[in-house]
Amino acid sequence: MEPIARHLRNPFGIQPPCEPVEGAEPVPGYGRPEADFHLIGNHAGVHGGAKTGIPFTDHPAGRAVLEVFETIGLLDRANDGRPVGRELFMSYVHMCPVAEGAEPTDAAYRDLHRFFDAELRAVNAHILVPVGARATDRILAGYTTQFRKLPVDMEWRHARDIRGRGFLVVPMKDPSDWQGDDRDRIIARLRKIRNSDYRQTKGVATMIG
C-alpha cells in the first residue's frame, strides 16, 4: 500500500518552512485532492501524526476522529493501517512539528496560515469539519463572516451546521472533551449530510457568509 500512501500524502506539494524537531516531521495534508469533505485539526501534538506524517494517526484523539469517518463510510484502512479516505481530505492548521508537550505560538499559526489556506482552496471541498476550538476559530474567522456572531462555546458549535456561500462548516468538539452523546451527535450529523444533496451548498465563491 506504500504507493497509495505516497499518492495521498501532500498531493499539492506544500513545503512549509518548518524548524527541525527531533523525532517528529511536518504533517501536510493527506487524502483525495478532489474530496468533498475536508477534516481540519490543530497540530500533530494534539491530534497525532508527528511520527507518521499523516494527520489524526498514532494518537488517541486522532483515532477517535478517524473512527467517526469510518463509521459513516468516508474512510477505509489500508493493509498497513493507514487511512484511505473516500471523499475525504485531512489537514492541520499548523502543519509543522512541535516539541513534545509544547504549543505553537500565535505567530507560528499566522506564519503557516498561507500554507493551510493553499491546501484548503486547492481541495475546495463542500463540507469543512474543524476539530476543536483552535481549528474551528481559524475556519470561522478566516473563511466566514460569522465568527463574531456565533457563540464561542464548542458545546454549542459541536455537530451544528454553519451555512454560507461556498462551504458548509460542521465543527466537532475535540474527542478529549466528548461527553454523553457527543460522538453519536457528530456521527448522526455527518451521516445525514452525506446522505443529502450536500453539493447544493457549493457556490462559486470560496468565502462563507
pLDDT at position 1 is 33
pLDDT at position 77 is 78
Residue 86: closest CA among 125, 54, 122 = 125
By DSSP bridging, strand 88-92 and strand 30-31 are antiparallel
**Chain Cα centroid distance, residue 120:** 10
pLDDT-derived band of residue 165, with 50, 70 and 90 as boundaries?
Answer: low
Look-up of cell digits 486547492? 122
DSSP H or E run through 110: helix 106-123
Q: b/e for 10-26, b at 16 or more Cβ within 10 A?
A: bbeebebebeebeebbb
Q: Where are the beta strands (DSSP E) in 99-156?
A: 127-130
pLDDT-derived band of residue 46, with 50, 70 and 90 as boundaries?
Answer: very high
CA of 33: how far to CAs of 14, 58, 194, 205, in Å?
13, 23, 18, 18
Percent of the chain surpassing pLDDT 70? 89
Calculate the average pLDDT of the chain: 88
**Predicted confidence (pLDDT) at residue 4 exceeds the cutoff of 50:** no
**Predicted confidence (pLDDT) at residue 208 exceeds the cutoff of 60:** no
What mean pLDDT comes out for the span 54-69? Answer: 95
Percent of the chain surpassing pLDDT 90? 74
pLDDT at position 84 is 83
Q: Determine contact, residues 49/59, Cβ cutoff 8 Å.
A: yes
pLDDT at position 27 is 96
**Predicted confidence (pLDDT) at residue 33 exceeds the cutoff of 70:** yes
Domains of the chain: 2-201 (3.40.470.10)
The residue type at 100: E
pLDDT at position 200 is 55
Per residue in 69-106, pLDDT (tens digit) is: 999 999 987 656 788 877 899 999 999 999 988 999 99
